[in-house]
Amino acid sequence: MPIRLGPTPPALDAALVEKLTRVSFPTLGHYLEEGFADPGIRRLAGTARVVGRAVTVRTTATDSTMLHHAAGLVEAGDVVVVDTGGDVRHAPLGEVVASALAFRGAAGAVVDGTATDIEEIAPLGLPVYGRGLSMLTTKLHEIDAGGLNIPVVCGGVVVHPGDIVLADANGVLFASPAVLGALIDVALEDDAEEPELVEALRDGGRLGDLTGASATVASFVS
């Protein structure tokens, strides 16, 4: 497949981004089933929570030419999402690529594959997610394949350029601004109520009574 270059996605709505920085990401899991990367994608470097615009990159198993190109184009707050076509042996992201992203203000990188140079990446502070580490790296083979800002697959999820990437120690979520915009206020309300629920549990309350689950079970057996 020849190289495909898509347009730069639109900027994210600042008000939505601000709200997403405040929400507990697992709270969103109460409302969504799709968009969550499989648990094989985990945090390899960095500690900051990630909220950013997806810049999607499709590489081939051995060639990272497209990722090098993309690294020079990312904007502050972007999250580079790399589809390696299923390859988990060749690491496309190492110290040089991570440095390029960090110096341009990227919010993070998610690789559906491996990374390398993890000890050199750690001081950069760039959150990096992937399936593991490898000493076998990609090369600049200049293969006429791959793409930038096209739909890709990462962690079993189809990711579109301009999607929102949310990531923390629990995992990674990819979702459109429309999906997250529709539920963010409800999720924030849930977060605000949670301390009261925990306090009621501390005071001896039963979780099923507090959430209504016990009443539901009783209705099944009555």
State mean pLDDT over 34-57: 98
What are residue 51's phi and psi, to 5 degrees? -135, 115
Cβ neighbourhood burial of 193 (10 Å; 0-12, 13-18, 19+): exposed
**222 pLDDT more than 80:** no
Q: Indicate the pLDDT class of residue 145, thresholds 50, 70 and 90.
A: confident
Annotated binding residues for Mg(2+): 117
Question: Per residue in 151-189, pLDDT tens?
Answer: 999 999 999 999 999 999 999 999 999 999 999 999 999
Residues 109 and 161 reside in one and the same domain: yes
State mean pLDDT over 30-38: 98
Annotated binding residues for substrate: 94-97
State mean pLDDT over 88-111: 98
User: Cα(64)–Cα(70) distance, rounded to whole angstroms?
Assistant: 10
Residues 206 and 172 reside in one and the same domain: no
State mean pLDDT over 56-62: 93
For residue 128, what pLDDT is reported?
A: 98
User: Cα(138)–Cα(82) distance, rounded to whole angstroms?
Assistant: 13
| Count of domains for the chain | 2
Domain that holds residue 189: 183-220
**1 pLDDT more than 70:** no
Residues 132 and 35 reside in one and the same domain: yes
CB atoms within 10 A of CB 75: 13
Tell me the pTM: 0.95
Can you say how many angstroms the Cα of residue 141 is from the centroid of all Cα atoms in its chain? 28
Annotated binding residues: 94-97, 117
Residues 126 and 188 reside in one and the same domain: no
Query: Which is nearest to 81 in space by CA: 184, 181, 173?
Result: 173
User: Cα(124)–Cα(119) distance, rounded to whole angstroms?
Assistant: 10
State mean pLDDT over 98-124: 98
State mean pLDDT over 74-92: 97
Residues 120 and 12 reside in one and the same domain: yes
Residues 114 and 70 reside in one and the same domain: yes
Give the CATH number, domain containing residue 31: 3.50.30.40
Query: Which is nearest to 94 in space by CA: 105, 107, 82?
Result: 82
User: Cα(66)–Cα(3) distance, rounded to whole angstroms?
Assistant: 9
Round the average pLDDT of the chain to a whole number and report it. Answer: 96
Structural contact between residues 144 and 65, judged by C-beta atoms closer than 8 angstroms: no
Residues 189 and 173 reside in one and the same domain: no
